[in-house]
Amino acid sequence: MGKFFGFYKSERGRKILCLARYAISVLLMIMAATNAGASMLLVWIPELVILICLTQILAGISVKNKWGMKGCRGLFYVSGFFLVLYNIQMMVMFFGSSFITHTMMTNMAAVKDLSGKTGPYAAGVLLVVISTFLPIVCFQKRMAKKVLYGSMAVEMVTILMTGCGVSPCLGYVQLFQTARNSAEISRRVSTAEVNAADFKNEKKDVDESMKAAPSAAAPKSGSGEEAEQEKASDGSRKALTATPVETAFTDEMVIRDNALVSADSKKSEVVKPSYDGSRGEQPNIILILTEGFSQDIVEHPKEVTPNVAAYEEKSLNFTNYYNHTFATYRGVIGQLYSGHQLNDMDVNHLVSMHSILEDRGYTTTFVNVEPKKEDWTQYVHNLGFQNVVGDDATELKGMAETLSDRQAYDLLFDTVIEQNETGKPSFTVIYTFGTHLSLDSTDKKFGDGKDPVRNRYYNMDYQFSKFMEKYEKSELADNTIVIFTADHAAYVDNSYRSAFPGKKRKSRVCSRIPFFIYYPGIRPQTVDVRGRNSLDMTPTVLDYLGVSADNYFLGCSLLSPEANDFDVVFDDPDEEWWTAGGQLTELDKSESTIQQKIFDYYTLARNGVYE
């Protein structure tokens, strides 16, 4: 240590360490560019040169002796602080494919969920910390000024050409603006008044509307019209019938079914998908929300999730279907309530899928796979389910102190079996955690097992298939439907790109996600919803089952032509997109009235409706 301090005190040593500090910044920049693209260097290099020149100029002002600690000490520290901020942005870009976002900051409490990459993350943080404490020595103040002016000119031109979003330093300005806007919205929501009637959707007489004459195009077997007109085995339940839909229906989407209409036809009359009643008038419902899962993974040539792909083929499957927000806290509650969430821990006081089903005699349950996480457990209990299971789980075999996907699916099956024995219909929801960003599989591995991203999705797919095997062999197959989807799209970081090379996504957080409804004997159909999103999940399921109630849903049924702007808008604090037509287009908040409507929904959801 004595030799090191001697080296540190010497003029030569301090110059070498100063160069090392600059070298670390260059290294982090190059690492980030391997993830974001070499074109980003057009902005990043001039910006780094500007910061280095500033440190040289400010250090030149403050250095009065070999320690550089006399004179203008404040400027000496400021000169290094700029580089630290730059290095942090580069490190985050390397690991997370973006600069620091508001969503990242609000999810700091969940940092343990990223424990799968503790080693690499710790190494990155250590590199930034080391660079922070390395000295800054003025080499050539006059030259630094000349280079500074030239670099600033280059920086201004490149930012004008590419936009502020590619600048590490301006990224902090955008982060501050987003945080300030969110705080202002939260403050306004607490005092604003909204007319609830603007959002209220009146109950429709679904039972009557569903009792149309059967279509001649429908198949006449198993799950077709004959089965739909028959009573249940106990003779007590009248099944629902499929509804012929006019051409207006196909203007919104294309339904593909060999028995009904060819994939490229829009002129033939089609049969609106509806529950055939074969699982009873009030079937049990299982809703699986898979952590961070995109349809791109299902369709990738690597075939990491073959079982999910197979079930899509034999289900009522919705394609070109997008997530409406990011991340989990917003995604789960947003789908169950068909609404938007302002802050992670906000409570929604409006109508949800489970509250509607509860009013119809269902037992509602949420399976908690993160019982050690206090914020998440509180969030789950605030969702409004009658029961939460998993809180007392002690043997947690998943990473980040969670139930592994194998444990989660085992608990789900046991829970639904137990509820089935009561004779009451049940609605059970599970959010599986094993595919979370940074994690590896604790059970099944894909191929040679070297890629943790492929491993975790392969394991999820395997555990899902094992659950479905048990489901199809049990009494649940006679009275239970399974709904499979994701809480939100998979986040694109460097590991994701490496695991699933090929098609480049336009957004890190918004993309197509799976959504299908299955039970044995269901008529397999594919519905192309052309860019509509997960706000429509709850209205779609209820419409499919023939359930109607007064509500405040922002979404619409995907089985209805009554679409709106909400279900083609992705909204979170950091990104806004139009997804209409299955194409992502950036949404200009300043020009969109939809943002005011979302604000009004925040107000209504947080404050509730009192009559």
Residue 384 maps to which CATH number? 3.40.720.10
pLDDT at site 75: 60
Domain boundary pick from 165, 191, 217:
191
| Domain end call among 172, 191, 210 | 191
**Same domain, yes or no: 181 and 330:** no
Which residues touch 490 (CB under 8 Å, ≥6 apart)?
A: 292, 293, 294, 296, 297, 435, 496, 511
Indicate the SS3 state at residue 588.
Answer: coil
**Per-residue pLDDT, 190:** 85
Residues ≥6 apart with Cβ < 8 Å to 380: 366, 368, 388
In a shared domain, residues 171 and 206? no
Q: Does residue 249 sit in the same domain as residue 161?
A: no
Residue 75, domain member (yes or no):
yes
DSSP strands (E only) in 535-606: 569-571, 576-578, 585-586
Same domain, 400 and 365: yes
> Is there a domain that residue 284 lies in?
no
How are beta strands 284-290 and 426-432 bridged, if at all? Answer: parallel
Are 119 and 222 within one domain? no
Same domain, 69 and 167: yes
* pTM, two decimal places: 0.85
Residue 30 is encoded by which pair of tokens?
Answer: 């190059």
**Crossing angle between the packed helical segments 168-191 and 73-96, to the nearest 10 degrees:** 80
Query: Do the beta carbons of residue 577 and residue 507 sit within 8 Å?
Result: yes
Residue entry with tokens 């080296």 = 7
In a domain, 279, yes or no: no
Q: Would you state the pLDDT for residue 205?
A: 56
Q: Give dist(CA 62, CA 60) in Å, integer.
A: 6
Among 193, 228, 198, 195, residue whose Cα is nearest residue 210: 228
Count of the separate structural domains present in the chain:
2
In a domain, 353, yes or no: yes
Residue 300 domain-assigned (yes or no): no
Residue 288 maps to a domain = no
Q: φ and ψ at 290, to 5 degrees?
A: -90, 130
Own/partner contacts of 558-565, CB < 8 Å, gap of 24 or more, are 558/253, 558/318, 558/321, 558/527, 558/529, 558/532, 559/272, 559/273, 559/274, 559/527, 560/249, 560/252, 561/248, 561/249, 561/251, 561/252, 563/252, 563/532, 565/594, 565/597
Q: Of 191, 220, 246, which residue sits at a domain end?
A: 191
Based on the domain organization, do 144 and 242 belong to the same domain?
no
pLDDT at 255: 60
| Cβ proximity of 363 and 426 under 8 Å | yes
- Predicted local confidence at residue 252, as pLDDT: 44
In a domain, 289, yes or no: no
Q: What is the pLDDT of residue 486?
A: 99
Within this chain, do residues 134 and 207 fall inside the same structural domain, yes or no?
A: no
Are residues 202 and 65 both part of a single domain? no
Is 293 contained in some domain? no
Q: Is 315 helix (H, G, I), strand (E, B) or coil?
A: coil
The DSSP code for 372 is T
Widest CA span in the chain: 96
Q: What is the pLDDT of residue 119?
A: 85
On whether both 231 and 320 belong to a single domain, the answer is yes
- Scored b (16 or more CB within 10 A) or e, 447-460 reads eeeebbbbbbbbbb
The C-alpha atoms of residue 598 and residue 457 are separated, in whole angstroms, by 33
Number of neighbours of residue 568 by Cβ within 10 angstroms: 25
Q: Tell me: do 34 and 134 sit in the same domain.
A: yes
Q: Could you tell me if 182 and 249 lie in one domain?
A: no
Would you say 487 and 366 are in contact if contact means Cβ atoms under 8 Å apart?
A: no
| Mean pLDDT in order along the chain per 10 residues (611 residues) | 73 90 95 90 92 82 50 61 93 92 85 77 91 83 73 75 78 93 90 89 57 30 33 32 31 47 37 83 98 98 98 98 97 98 95 98 98 96 98 92 97 98 98 97 96 98 99 98 99 94 92 98 95 98 96 95 88 93 84 84 90 56
- Domain residues for 53? 2-191
* R_g of the chain computed on alpha carbons: 28
Q: Quick count: other Cβ atoms within 10 Å of Cβ 579?
A: 27
